[in-house]
Amino acid sequence: MTILPTLKSLAVAAAILASTSAIALAKDVHISVWAGGTGPNDVYRLDAIEIAAQQLQREAALKGEDLKITVEKKPYSAWEDFKQALTLAAEAKTAPNIVVSGHEDIAPWSQAGLIVPIEDYVDLDSWPLSDIYENLLQIASYNGTVYGIPQDAESRPMFFWKPYMKAIGYSDADLDALPQSVQDGKYTMKNLLEDAKKMQDKGLVQPGYGFYPRTSNGPDYWQFYTSFGGTMEEGGKLVFDKAAMTRTYQFFADAVKSGVTKKNHIGMPGDQWWKEVATGKAGIWDGGTWHYARLVNQEGLKDFFGNVIFTLIPAGEGGKANTLTHPLVYLLTAGHDQEDTEIAAQLVKIASEPRINALHAVKSAHLGISKSESTVEFYSADRWTREATERLLPHANAMPNNSDFGKYWNIMWKNLEASWTGAKTVDAAVSDAESELKSTLGDKIVIR
Partner 1 sequence: MKSSRTLGLVMIAPAAIMIVLFFLMPVVLTAVFSMTSMTTATGISGGVYQIAPNSLIALKSAIPDIAAEMAEPRYTIDEAGLKAVEGLGLAPGIAGELRAKHAGEVFTARRDVERMLKELADRPSTRDVKQISEQFNRSVLNTRFDSKEQLFSALDSLGFKLTPEQKETVAKVTYTGWVWTTDNFSRMTTSPDMARVLLNTVLYVALVLMLFNVGYALLLAIWTHYMPPTPASIFRGIWLLPRITPVVIYVMLWKWLAWDTGFISILMGKFGYPPKNYLLDNAYNAWFFVVLINGFIGASMGMLVFSSAMKAIPKSQFYASEVDGASRWQQIRYIILPQMRWPILFVTCYQTLSLLASFNEILLATNGGPGNATEVWALSAYHTALRNYAGNLEYGLGAAMALVLVVIGVTLSLLYLRVFNYGTLVAKPLIED
- 438's CB contacts (< 8 A; 6+ apart) are 445, 447
- Site membership for partner 1, residue 435 (CB under 8 A): yes
Q: What is the smallest separation between the CB atom of 280 and partner 1, expressed in angstroms?
A: 16
- Site membership for partner 1, residue 378 (CB under 8 A): no
- Site membership for partner 1, residue 404 (CB under 8 A): yes
- Site membership for partner 1, residue 434 (CB under 8 A): no
- Using the minimum distance from each CB to partner 1, give the nearer residue, 70 or 84: 84
- Site membership for partner 1, residue 112 (CB under 8 A): yes
Kindly tell me which residue out of 27, 74, 89, 121 binds partner 1, with binding defined by CB under 8 A.
121
Kindly tell me which residue out of 54, 130, 143, 180 binds partner 1, with binding defined by CB under 8 A.
143
- Site membership for partner 1, residue 407 (CB under 8 A): yes
Kindly tell me which residue out of 89, 413, 446, 447 binds partner 1, with binding defined by CB under 8 A.
413
Q: What is the smallest separation between the CB atom of 124 and partner 1, expressed in angstroms?
A: 7
Kindly tell me which residue out of 43, 53, 67, 102 binds partner 1, with binding defined by CB under 8 A.
102
Q: How many residues bind partner 1 (CB under 8 A)?
A: 70
- Site membership for partner 1, residue 437 (CB under 8 A): no
Q: What is the smallest separation between the CB atom of 404 and partner 1, expressed in angstroms?
A: 7
Kindly tell me which residue out of 77, 84, 180, 375 binds partner 1, with binding defined by CB under 8 A.
84
298 to 337: interface string for partner 1, x by CB under 8 A: ----------------------------------------
Q: What is the smallest separation between the CB atom of 406 and partner 1, expressed in angstroms?
A: 2
Rounded CA separation 201/162 (Å)? 17
Binding residues for partner 1 (CB under 8 A): 79-81, 83-84, 87, 91, 101-102, 104-105, 107-109, 111-114, 120-126, 142-145, 206-207, 216-218, 235-237, 262-264, 266-269, 272, 342, 402-407, 409-410, 413-414, 417-424, 432, 435-436, 439-440, 443
